Amino acid sequence: MSLIKVQKIMSNELAKRTFISRPPEPPAGFLLNDPTDSVFIGITRRFGVPFTWTYNILTNPHISVVGITGSGKSFFVKTFLIRASYVWGTSAIILDWAGEYKAWVKQSGGTIISFGKGDYLNIMDLSGMKPIDRSKQIMNSLDILTDISNFPEQRRITSEALEQAYLNAGFILASAPVPGKEAPTLKDVAHLLDEKLAEGTYEYPAELENAIYRLRQFSREGEDYFARKSTIDLDKIISSGLVDLDLSGLPDEKFRALAALFMLQTLKEKMRSEGWSAAKGLKALIVLDEAWKVASDERSDAITIIREGRKYQFGLIVASQNPTDINEAIFSNVGTNIILKIKFQKFMDYLQGSLNFSQFIRSEIGKLGVGQAAIDMAFQTSSQFPSTFIINRVIGEVPLDVYTITLADMLNESEMRDLTILKEYSFEKPFLKSKFIDSNINTDAIDSILSVLDSKNRIVDLKEFVRVLLAAKLSRDAVISFLRSIGISDSIITRSFSYGE
Ligand SMILES: Nc1ncnc2c1ncn2[C@@H]1O[C@H](COP(=O)(O)OP(=O)(O)O)[C@@H](O)[C@H]1O
Ligand SMILES: [Mg+2]
């Protein structure tokens, strides 16, 4: 009798131990996929399986990435985008809130579009859409970004003026536009309302004035980033490889969100009009990193892309330090959750509540280091195994350190057109260091300069660069001789100083 009792205790103990020493992991068959049709991420912690990602076995191709600042969210995104482009030729469009992808995109040979720093977007551009649909979308963005929906009369006259502006420019509201015809801008719309006000016959002049005020926010001189002729070709944007839409130069969140909402609308339309193709893998990935306003509002097209993306081979990657900022409709529909280090218990509760992982995984997530991740996937077939597992590290490609100095801000129009003037200079770190040494700049100063440049994501404009050099106690002469040595003309050097002071 007593023997049986002992055995019982022993098997209990054993069961517990097995559980603790064997964190569950999906079977290798689900983790290890055809390398020509999947993206390598890292090695699983328990069984050392090389985990390659494919959405063929998942409910959809979308990915959420959560974790505290510095945990490796952007690093994961970069690694993923590069490998997807190797394997499938996937294009990527990054809605880059803080400009943190710029340097990397540049190094990777991608395109950077900098709103607020020389690039403009006309949010009335149609790129194949009917004016009536674009008007609705613009109103939808205003609903999300302003409180216009509380003022039905203002909303009505604004929407009417949008449509009128298209009509005045020769468009037919319910027809796809003739290619090449130039769209009106928000300035034209504000102008129509101005005229209405001047006529003095409208019943509610206060409503009219407020509607004008709202539009002026986005169209007044100097802040007309979205009310001028576009400098980018929207039709080409999803077939241009890697594209960084740098929003960091815009004055505030409202402008950044407006650009992001516009881009999501445009990408959604492109996705639908391109339809399905027989090509393997993903056609395009759209990245929303720290774009909380855009990821949290249920009216945002991020949600439409999540719902429809799979059939069009479009994936959305949403990264955030705060999982509760990601709309429930997104969070519960992504096929893959990448969970990096999490600190706050309330975030952990939220994740555990929606993904249902074990206490064991929960405690592991609390202990993750930089680049280490718990991954949860929603498999298409109902699985009898736990779907959350740990990878030792997201294994990425080590990027080159490239520093870029841009001149565009201080060039006049004719210089901008002059092909003999370089608009920006890019240097690899060892080259820049050796140049500094040649100019007799001491090691401490070099280190401090490079670390300031690192903190600015390795892209600065020339006047900022000059300020950094002067702040590192370089003499004026040393700075001038350095700038000359990299080929910048005296006239531009002079200007960079007068701007800097
Ligand atoms: N898997 C990884 N392997 C190597 N370095 C990493 C890894 N993940 C992150 N890092 C480094 O850690 C730093 C912070 O990562 P980052 O992706 O910018 O964090 P986040 O976007 O979460 O704030 C960066 O310098 C990055 O290069
Ligand atoms: Mg980041």
Q: What is the pLDDT of residues 33-83, one digit of tens each?
A: 999 999 999 999 988 999 999 999 999 999 999 999 989 999 999 999 999
Q: What is the pLDDT of residues 50-64, one digit of tens each?
A: 999 999 999 999 999
Q: Is the pLDDT of residue 230 over 50?
A: yes
Residue 3 has pLDDT above 80, yes or no: no
Decide: 310 in ligand 1 pocket, CB within 6 A: no
Q: What is the pLDDT of residue 15?
A: 41
The verdict on 111 and 182 lying in the same domain is no
CATH number at residue 101: 3.40.50.300
CA-closest residue to ligand 1 atom 27: 75
pLDDT digits (tens, 9 = 90+) for 388-412: 999 999 998 656 678 889 888 888 8
**pLDDT tens string 274-332:** 887 878 899 999 999 988 878 888 889 999 999 999 999 999 999 999 999 898 889 88
pLDDT the model gives residue 399: 61
User: Looking at residue 23, what is its pLDDT?
Assistant: 52
Please state, in angstroms and as integers, the Cα–Cα distance from residue 62 to each residue in 217, 350, 410, following that order.
34, 19, 41
Considering the domain architecture, whether residues 168 and 200 belong to the same structural domain is answered as yes
Phi, psi for residue 63 in degrees, rounded to 5: -135, 135
- For residue 226, CA distances in Å to 143, 221, 433 come to 17, 11, 39
Both tokens assigned to 329? 């409709």
Asked if 170 and 272 sit in the same domain, the reply is no
Model pLDDT, residue 413: 80
Whether residues 292 and 341 share a domain: the answer is yes
Residue 162 maps to a domain: yes
Nearest protein CA to atom 9 of ligand 1, as residue: 72
For Cα atoms 468, 485, 418, give the angle at the middle one, nearest 5 degrees: 90
* One-letter identity of residue 105: V
How much is the pLDDT for 237? Answer: 83
In terms of C-beta density within 10 A (0-12 exposed, 13-18 middle, 19 or more buried), how is residue 274 classed? middle
In the reported structure, the alpha carbon of residue 289 is separated from the centroid of ligand 2 by a whole-number distance in angstroms of 7
Whether pLDDT at 382 is above 90 = no
Distance CA 197, CA 192 (A): 9
The confidence score (pLDDT) of residue 295 equals: 87
pLDDT for 390: 95
Ligand 1 atom closest to the Cα of residue 372 is 1
Least confident of 22-31, 234-243, 286-295, 444-453: 22-31
Nearest residue CA, atom 5 of ligand 1?
A: 371
Half-sphere exposure of 240 (CA within 13 A, CB side): 21
Burial per residue of 19-28, b for 16 or more beta-carbon CB atoms within 10 angstroms, e otherwise: eeeebebbee
The pLDDT of 202-220, averaged and rounded, is: 93
pLDDT at position 398, please? 56
75 lines ligand 1 (CB under 6 A): yes
Helix H or strand E segment including 47: none
* Domain co-membership, 374 together with 438: no
Q: Per the domain annotation, does 7 fall within a domain? A: no
Q: Is residue 22 domain-resident?
A: no
Tell whether 174 is covered by a domain.
yes
pLDDT of amino acid 469: 93
Mean pLDDT (the chain) is 88
Determine whether the shortest distance from the Cβ of 71 to ligand 1 is under 6 A.
yes
Q: Note down the domain range covering 408.
A: 402-500
Residues 79 and 141 both lie in one domain: no
Distance linking the first and last C-alpha atoms of the chain: 91
Domain end: 391, 414, 438, which one?
391
Domain boundary among 192, 217, 242: 217
pLDDT of 88 > 50? The answer is yes
Q: Are residues 411 and 476 in the same domain?
A: yes
Domain tally, the chain: 3
Q: How far apart are CA 353 and CA 355, in angstroms?
A: 6
User: Exposure pattern of 360-392 as b/e (b: 16+ CB <10 Å)?
Assistant: bbbebbeebeebbbbbbbbeeeeeeebbbbbbe
Verify whether ligand 1 is closer than 6 Å to residue 70 (CB atom): yes
Residue 187: pLDDT over 90: yes
What integer pLDDT is reported at residue 11 of this predicted model?
A: 46
pLDDT for the residue 500: 45
Residue 29 lies in a domain: no
Q: Kindly state if the Cβ of 118 falls inside 6 Å of ligand 1.
A: no
Q: Is residue 307 part of a domain?
A: yes
Q: 457: CA distance to ligand 1 center in Å?
A: 13
Interval between CA 371 and ligand 1 midpoint (Å)? 6
Among residues 371, 391, 411, which one ends one of the domains? 391
In a domain, 58, yes or no: yes
The reported pLDDT for the residue numbered 396 is 87
**Cβ of residue 42 lying under 6 Å from some atom of ligand 1:** no
Examine the domain organization and report whether 236 and 309 are in the same domain.
Answer: yes
Structure-derived torsion over alpha carbons of residues 192, 193, 196, 202, reported in degrees to the nearest 10:
150
280 and 139 share one domain? no
- 95 Cα: distance to centroid of ligand 2 (angstroms): 12
Lowest-pLDDT choice from 78-92, 153-167, 417-431, 456-470: 417-431
| In-domain check, residue 75 | yes
Closest by CA to 106, choosing from 410, 487, 419, 404, is 404
Provide the 8-state DSSP code for 180. T
Cβ 73 under 6 angstroms from ligand 1: yes
> How far is the centre of ligand 1, averaged over its atoms, from the C-alpha of 75 (Å)?
5
Average pLDDT over residues 458-477: 91
Q: Which tokens hold the place of 193?
A: 């309302």
Residue keyed to tokens 């006239």? 491
- Distance between CA 379 and CA 336 in Å, rounded? 9
Whether the per-residue pLDDT at 103 is higher than 90: the answer is no
Distance of CA 374 to the CA centre of its chain: 22
pLDDT for the residue numbered 235: 81
CA angle at 311 for the pair 308 and 313, rounded to the nearest 5°: 100
Ligand that lies nearest to the alpha carbon of residue 70, given by its number in the listed order? 1
Q: Give the number of the ligand closest to the Cα of residue 67.
A: 1
Residues 255-270 have a mean pLDDT of 92
Residues 385 and 447 in one domain: no
Length of the chain: 501
Segment 338-342 shows an average pLDDT of 96
User: What distance in Å separates the CA atoms of residue 124 and residue 186, rounded to the nearest whole number?
Assistant: 7
Q: Which of 3-17, 196-210, 225-239 has the largest mean confidence?
A: 196-210
> Are residues 311 and 208 part of one domain?
no
Ligand 1 pocket test, pick from 68, 73, 75, 398 with the greatest ligand atom count within 8 Å of Cβ, gives 75
Q: Which ligand is nearest to the CA of 342?
A: 1
Residue 12 has pLDDT above 50, yes or no: no
pLDDT of residue 279: 80
**Which pLDDT score, from 0 to 100, does residue 400 have?**
64
Same domain, 249 and 386: yes
